Amino acid sequence: MILIDTNALVVLIVGLLDTGLLNRHKRTSIYEIEDFESLLAVIGGFENLLILPNVWTETDNLLNNFTGNYKYPYIEELARMFHSTVEEYIPSIYAPAREEFFNLGLTDTLLLQRAKSCDLLITADSQLALYANAHKICVYDMVERRNLRLS
């Protein structure tokens, strides 16, 4: 399974809605169509994509302010993805027992733990990528990849 974090899921959903929106939306402003297409290629099929409820909640909190022409398509896309991806609940009680909880918070701590038994962690969060690398987790680091094309 492939685990995805909030920032990367935001890029995925914005790209699915309108690739032209990627560099106009505050949360995805550094990304281009190339990044979105690479992300889709890495995921393969959505049936491989594991999403924690915490990640869905954070993502919706960041994107639910869509208005006008994007509001209804956003709701529809979300509903499609709820059906086609895999959702797995991890009790929050596991997080405070991890030292990473101090710096990463609840969602990323649970992601880090779950990623240890996944094939890949897709993240657009440099701090989470740093921790994942330290834990020898296989990481697709979207920020790193985008910055390689900038420098």
- Site residues for another protein per CB under 8 A: 26-27, 29-30, 96-100, 105, 125-127, 130-131, 134-135, 143-144, 146-147, 150-151
Q: Which is nearer to another protein, 115 or 125 (CB)?
A: 125
Cα angle 77, 30, 32 (rounded to 5 degrees) comes to: 60
Q: Which is nearer to another protein, 57 or 126 (CB)?
A: 126
Q: Which is nearer to another protein, 32 or 77 (CB)?
A: 32
Spatial CA neighbour of 87 closest among 104, 110, 65: 110
120 touches 138 (CB < 8 A)? yes
* Residue 121, token pair as written in the block: 């962690």
Least Å from the CB of residue 6 to another protein: 9
